[in-house]
Amino acid sequence: MECVTDTFINDGVGLGFSDAEKINNLEMDTCPGFVSDGSNKVVWVNEAYRKMMTEGEVAENGLMVWLVVKEKFPHFSPAFACRLRVIQQTKHGHKWNRIVSCDVWRMEFSGFAWKLDVNTALSLGI
């Protein structure tokens, strides 16, 4: 996570009320998304995220995802917006680096649900 761009005090619902609702809604979403635990370990990714990262290639050893946080999370906000740097390296050695907008919701188990907006005009390819 590069930086927090906005916080939402009154709009903690977004993807749903419960963790199950949030994961279910992310699972059906066409936007890439993932869930991290309280120690910033990515524990689940949706199919849209998997497709974005593999670009049609089959991941031989699965998909490895890391979350590196450069800024502290807002303590009292149930949701916030941020910018993420997504780095992908294919099995053929090709690599891309992109900054995308992202909406984030706090999970009940102290993790976060992340929904990437890869189609926004603010996305920057590097």
How high is the pLDDT of residue 118? 80
**Count: domains in the chain:** 1
Size of the chain, expressed as the number of residues it contains: 126
Residues 6 or more apart in contact with residue 70 via CB below 8 angstroms: 1, 2, 3
Q: Spell out the per-residue pLDDT of the chain, length 126, in tens.
A: 888 888 776 555 678 889 999 999 999 999 999 999 989 899 999 999 888 887 655 555 566 777 888 888 888 888 899 988 887 766 666 677 788 899 999 999 889 999 998 876 454 444
How high is the pLDDT of residue 54? 75
Looking up residue 21, the CATH number of its domain turns out to be 3.30.450
Per-residue b/e over 90-103, b at no fewer than 16 CB within 10 Å? eeeeeeeebbbbbb
pTM of the entire predicted model = 0.82
CB burial of residue 4 (10 Å; 0-12, 13-18, 19+): middle
Structure tokens at 11: 């709009």
How high is the pLDDT of residue 121? 43
- Integer Cα distance of 3 and 84 in angstroms: 7
Range of the domain at 97: 3-125
How high is the pLDDT of residue 2? 81
How high is the pLDDT of residue 53? 80
How high is the pLDDT of residue 103? 92
